[in-house]
């Protein structure tokens, strides 16, 4: 890794790459804020999509479009350390722009697949609630179960393993880096799978809260950034799990008391 770090990077090129990605992150937050403040986000909420009567494919397309904005706003910030290292490693490679494009394509592709699976599962949950009067009368169980799942997952070995991989991107890059545009696709896929393994339960909470719910977006994005990028961020995993557990109990005992859920 020292050899990678010692390579000279053209300052303008490096700043340009990171600057463009940072601008995309900022733009995603601006769009998300506009969507909530204007009321447009309500049209993309899973409850509204279920009740809209639209074909599944059209509702899914709307979810996936909005999910790209959320992925840029919430997930890209914690992946910037990996992208910085990737840029340094490929500083003299003329194919790096294409490699980075393929990296981001794979990264967003993995999270898009997750969003599609989450939306399909959510539609089945809605149908179950409609078909089961008791569950319809106790719908808070769904929100509480989502929070409880996220709380429990915080304490699992899989979460720990994926978080370690996300916190030490240099080790992964040192083992898997190769020149060539297509390698960007492979690196993006591998990084995204570790990211998914680390954060899927938290993003499931985000899905339940609804697209562009700014409070939940801000809190969950900060949690993921701290866990993956802050010094000794792994120390916060257990307290975050405990907090999610408390919220699950509150959501169960006091329906409607947890905003957005």
Percent helix, percent strand, percent coil in the chain, to nearest 5: 85, 0, 15
pTM for the whole thing? 0.89
Q: What is the pLDDT of residue 14?
A: 57
Residue 155, domain member (yes or no): yes
Note whether 28 and 72 are within 8 A (CB). yes
Q: How confident is the model at residue 95 (pLDDT cuts 50, 70, 90)?
A: confident
Instruction: Give the total number of structural domains in the chain.
Output: 1
Is residue 181 in some structural domain? yes
- Residue numbers of the domain that contains 226: 2-253
Mean pLDDT score, 7-23: 69
- Is residue 79, in this structure, part of any structural domain at all? yes
The phi-psi region of residue 232 (left if phi > 0; otherwise alpha if psi is between -120 and 50; otherwise beta) is left
Query: Does residue 261 form part of some domain?
Result: no
Query: Is residue 187, in this structure, part of any structural domain at all?
Result: yes
Give me the pLDDT at residue 2, please: 40
- 86 domain-assigned: yes
Q: Would 130 be classed as within a structural domain?
A: yes
Predicted confidence at residue 11, as pLDDT, reads: 53
């Amino acid at each position: 890794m020292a050899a990678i770090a010692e390579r000279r990077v053209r300052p303008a090129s490096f700043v340009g790459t990171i600057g463009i990605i940072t601008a995309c992150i900022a733009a995603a937050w601006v769009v998300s804020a506009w969507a909530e403040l204007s009321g447009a986000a309500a049209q993309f909420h899973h409850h509204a999509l279920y009740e809209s009567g639209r074909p599944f494919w059209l509702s899914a397309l709307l979810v996936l479009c909005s999910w790209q904005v959320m992925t840029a706003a919430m997930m890209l910030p914690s992946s910037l350390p990996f992208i910085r290292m990737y840029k340094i490693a490929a500083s003299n490679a003329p194919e790096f722009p294409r490699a980075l494009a393929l990296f981001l394509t794979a990264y967003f592709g993995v999270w898009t697949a997750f969003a599609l699976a989450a939306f399909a599962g959510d539609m089945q949950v809605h149908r179950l609630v409609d078909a089961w009067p008791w569950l319809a009368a106790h719908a808070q169980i769904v929100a509480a179960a989502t929070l409880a799942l996220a709380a429990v997952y915080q304490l699992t070995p899989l979460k720990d393993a994926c978080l370690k991989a996300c916190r030490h991107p240099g080790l992964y890059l040192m083992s898997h880096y190769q020149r060539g545009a297509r390698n960007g696709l492979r690196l993006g896929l591998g990084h995204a799978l570790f990211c998914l393994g680390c954060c899927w339960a938290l993003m499931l909470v985000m899905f339940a809260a609804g697209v562009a719910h700014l409070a939940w977006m801000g809190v969950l994005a900060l949690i993921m950034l701290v866990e993956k990028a802050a010094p000794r961020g792994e120390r916060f995993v257990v307290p975050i799990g405990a907090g999610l557990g408390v919220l699950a109990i509150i959501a169960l005992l006091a329906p409607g008391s947890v905003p957005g859920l």
